[in-house]
Structure 1
Amino acid sequence: MQRPETGRLLEALPYGKTMLDKIWMILSEVATVPPGEQRTLLRSMLDAIKDAEFIEFPRMTTSWDRSALPHLPKWINRPRTKVVRQYAEHVIWSPELSFLSSKKELADSPWLKIDKWLKETRNFIRDSVPVRERSLEIFGDEKMLDALIGAQAFKSSLITLDALSCYYVPEPAAWERGPLGSEKLPGVCIENSTTYDVVKRFNREAGIWGFVVYGRGNGFASVVEGILPIMEEFGHSRILYFGDADHEGLEIAARGARKFSAAGRELELEVRLYRLILECGKFAESKTGGVLSPGATDLIRKADLNELPGIFLQHLRVSQEWAGYRRLKRY
C-alpha cells in the first residue's frame, strides 16, 4: 500500500508470533480503514512488510483464515535479528545518507540500494515520480519503499521523499463544486455516500457550500490528503464536517481534524446539519458510546453542540440520513 501506515503497523507489531485478532487490533490503532476494505488493506500491508522480510507467514494451509477473500494468515512471526550478522564495509555514503556514516548497516540493508541509486543518478535530472514508481526503480519491488517510509530516518526527517525525487500519492477525494457565487463559502465534508449524494444535489441549487466532498466513512482520515488540494484551489483554510451524531462519528471527525491541523487547516462541525437531525431525527441505540476523546470534545464545544456528550453516554445515536433532501429544502 502507498501509505505511511504500513511502516506504523510494522513498528507496532511485537517480536515473535502475533495472532490475527491481535493484528486487527493493532491495525485499528495505526490506520483508519474504509468500510469493506479491511481485509484487502490488511493483506496488502502484511504483504509489503513480508516482502521487506520483516515478518514471516505460516506455511501450513490450515494456518490461514480462508473464511473470506483475500485469505489472511492466522498468525505472523516477527523474528528477532539473528546474532550472526554480516555488515556492509567501507561504504562512502551519498550526502543524502550522511546520517548513516556513524552506523553499521547490514550487508542486505535497503539503504545500500538507495545509496547506489543516488550515486548512479547524481548527474542526471531526476523527474519527480510517485513513491511506488521510484520503489520499483530502486528495489525492483513497488512496495519496498512503502515499508521503509515508516523507518525512524524518515519520521525524523533525516531523509525525505524529496531526496529521492518522489512523492506520496494520496487517496483521491470525490467532490463537487458549488454553484457560481459560492466559491468563498467553506466546503463541507459528508461522512457517508448516501448523504453525500443528497447534500451534493441540494447544494447545486442552494449554494450554501463552496464544495461538497465525500468523507469515506471511517476512512475519513485517510482521505484528508486528497481534500487538501481542493481547499488550496479554493483558497480555504477551514472545512466543515457532517456525519452521524454518535460516539464513533465524532471520533472519526476528530481523527480527521488532527490531520487537517497538522497541515495548517481547520475542521469544524457543520452545526446547521447536526441541528437539523437532532431536531427532526429519532434517537436509536448505538453500538458505540461512552466518554469522548479530548479532540472530539473540543469539536463539540466549538460547535456549541453540548448536548451530544450526554447522548453518547446513554449509547444513543441519530443517523445522518435524517438530513434527507426534502428536510434540507424545508430547513
Structure 2
Amino acid sequence: MTREPVLAEAIASVVAGHPIRRVPLKDVLAAAASVDRSAVASVDWRSRVLAAITSLAEQGKVELPKTRADVTALPPLPSYLQRPAAPTSAPVETASVVWHADLTWVAVAEDQGRLNSATRRFLSKVNTWLPRRRGVCVPLRERSLEIFGDEKELESWVLGPLFDPDRLSFELLECEPCWPPVEQRIFGDADWLIIENYTTYVSICRVAARRGFEGRIVWGSGNQVGTRLSALAAEGDRPVRCWYFGDIDAGGFRAARHACVRAEQLGFDAIAPARGLYRLATIHGSKRRVRGNGRASQELIRWIHTWLEGTLATIAAEVAGAGDRIVQENVGIEVLETVNSISDWFAVED
C-alpha cells in the first residue's frame, strides 16, 4: 500500500516528466508542497515526504542514491531521485574477447558456460586494463577507480571466488588493501563484541574493563562495519565467536545484516545478536522511542525475525517496521552497571 498517496503521486509525476533522469530534491519538495500547503507549518513534513519517497522506491518507480543525502534537517532525505532506466527491448550479443595470458582460466570458464554477464563485464574491464600495467602498486580504491571508473567496485569482488588462488590477485592488479584503522579494545582472546555507535562503544569498553571482560570490543562505525571486519581479517585476526549490538531501527538492522554478510564472505562464523543488550535497549528505551529515518522493508523485517528470534525479534521488528527507533545509547554506563554478569549482555531467554 502506498504511504502518503497524494504526495507520492505528485512526486512520481515530477520524476516521470522531468527533463533529466536525476531530479534534484528541491524539485521533489516543490512538487510535494504543490499538493499540500501544510509544508511550512507541519513539524512532520519531511517524515511524510520520506514515507512517500520510500513507497515509490519500493514500487520501483524511483531510484535512490546510495550515499548522497540532504542532512540540513531531520529526517535526512535523498539529495535527488532518479527515474528508472527504460528496459532494453532485446539482449545485445556480447562481443568475443581475446583474453590476456594472465586470464587463460577465464577463457576456459567462458567456453564451459560458467560466466554470467556481470562477471564477464567485470573481467572484460580487467582484461582491457592489464596491458597498461606500469609496475606501480597503489591502494585498492585507486586501482578500482582507474579500471572501472568506480572506486568501490573492486571491494565488492575481492572476497568472492574470482580472487581464489590462481585467479585474480592484488599482485596481478598491482594494488593493495587499504582499510581504515579499526577502533577497538582488546582485553583477551575470547569473544568479539561489535558496537554500532561510538558513544556506546566507549561506555561498554569502560564497564567491560571493570568487569574483567576477556574478549575484544570493536567499534563497527555503522554502515562502515564491513570495512572494519575486512581490516581485521587482513591482519589475520579471526573471532572465536562474534556478537553485534546496534540501534533498533531500520538503519541499525541494515548495518547488522551487512556485518553478517561480510563475516560470511570472510569465512568467519556467523555473527550473533547480543540479545541481552538489545533487551536492555527495549526496556530502557521504550519511553524514548522516537521517529526514525524510514520504515524497514518487509525483507529486512523477515531478517530481523530470523536473526533476533522470539519476543525480542517481534518487538524490534515492530519498531523498525513502524519507522521508529530506539537508540543503543539508552544502554549507557549506569544501565550496564545494573547487569549482574557480562554473560547477561549476550544470550538471554525470552
TM-score category by the smaller chain?
0.5 to 0.7
1:285 aligns with 2:294: no
> Hey, what's the Cα distance between the residues in 2 that align with 1:241 and 1:191?
8
Residue 271 of structure 1, CA deviation: 1.5
The answer (yes or no) to whether the contact 1:132–1:142 under 8 Å persists in 2 is: no
The answer (yes or no) to whether the contact 2:192–2:216 under 8 Å persists in 1 is: yes
Aligned to 2:131: 115
Inter-CA distance 201–294: structure 2 relative to 1 (3 Å threshold): same
Structure 1 residues 292-331: aligned runs within 5 Å: 292-301=300-309, 305-331=313-339
> Hey, what's the Cα distance between the residues in 2 that align with 1:240 and 1:153?
24
The answer (yes or no) to whether the contact 1:251–1:293 under 8 Å persists in 2 is: no
Aligned Cα RMSD in Å?
Answer: 4.8
Question: Pick from 211, 216, 224: which aligns with 1:219?
Answer: 224
Residue 219 of structure 1, CA deviation: 3.1
> Hey, what's the Cα distance between the residues in 1 that align with 2:192 and 2:219?
11
SS at match of 2:271: strand
Aligned to 2:275: 271
> Hey, what's the Cα distance between the residues in 2 that align with 1:151 and 1:259?
10
Aligned to 2:203: 198
How many residues are aligned here? Answer: 251
> Hey, what's the Cα distance between the residues in 2 that align with 1:254 and 1:201?
27
> Hey, what's the Cα distance between the residues in 1 that align with 2:63 and 2:206?
38
| Deviations 1:46-97, CA, capped at 9 Å, x for gaps | xxxxxxxxxxxxxxxxxxxxxxxxxx99999x9xxxxxxxxxxx97832336
> Hey, what's the Cα distance between the residues in 1 that align with 2:263 and 2:330?
27
> Hey, what's the Cα distance between the residues in 2 that align with 1:227 and 1:317?
30
The alignment-based identity, stated in percent, is 18
SS at match of 1:173: coil
| Deviations 1:121-148, CA, capped at 9 Å, x for gaps | 8xxxx79763357679xxxx59858477
The answer (yes or no) to whether the contact 1:188–1:240 under 8 Å persists in 2 is: yes
Residue 242 of structure 1, CA deviation: 1.0
Inter-CA distance 100–173: structure 2 relative to 1 (3 Å threshold): same
> Hey, what's the Cα distance between the residues in 2 that align with 1:309 and 1:194?
24
Residue 270 of structure 1, CA deviation: 1.0
SS at match of 1:281: helix
Scaled by the length of structure 2, what TM-score is found? 0.54
Unpaired runs of 5+ in structure 1? 1-15, 40-71, 79-89
The answer (yes or no) to whether the contact 1:271–1:303 under 8 Å persists in 2 is: no
Unpaired runs of 5+ in structure 2? 1-18, 25-56, 70-78, 86-96, 112-120, 340-350
The one-letter code sitting in structure 2 at the alignment partner of 1:131 is L
Residue 100 of structure 1, CA deviation: 6.5
Question: Pick from 184, 190, 201: which aligns with 1:185?
Answer: 190
Inter-CA distance 151–173: structure 2 relative to 1 (3 Å threshold): closer
The answer (yes or no) to whether the contact 2:190–2:240 under 8 Å persists in 1 is: no
The answer (yes or no) to whether the contact 1:239–1:267 under 8 Å persists in 2 is: yes
Aligned to 2:102: 95
Structure 1 residues 134-153: aligned runs within 5 Å: 146=151, 149=154
Inter-CA distance 248–74: structure 2 relative to 1 (3 Å threshold): closer
Inter-CA distance 132–327: structure 2 relative to 1 (3 Å threshold): closer
1:250 aligns with 2:253: yes
SS at match of 1:282: helix
Residue 114 of structure 1, CA deviation: 1.4
Aligned to 1:130: 139
The one-letter code sitting in structure 1 at the alignment partner of 2:271 is L
Scaled by the length of structure 1, what TM-score is found? 0.57
Inter-CA distance 174–320: structure 2 relative to 1 (3 Å threshold): same
Residue 152 of structure 1, CA deviation: 9.4
The answer (yes or no) to whether the contact 1:154–1:160 under 8 Å persists in 2 is: no
The answer (yes or no) to whether the contact 1:131–1:145 under 8 Å persists in 2 is: no
The answer (yes or no) to whether the contact 2:185–2:217 under 8 Å persists in 1 is: yes
> Hey, what's the Cα distance between the residues in 1 that align with 2:201 and 2:99?
55
> Hey, what's the Cα distance between the residues in 2 that align with 1:17 and 1:147?
26
Inter-CA distance 173–303: structure 2 relative to 1 (3 Å threshold): farther
More contact order relative to length (CA 8 Å, sep ≥ 6): 1
SS at match of 1:200: helix
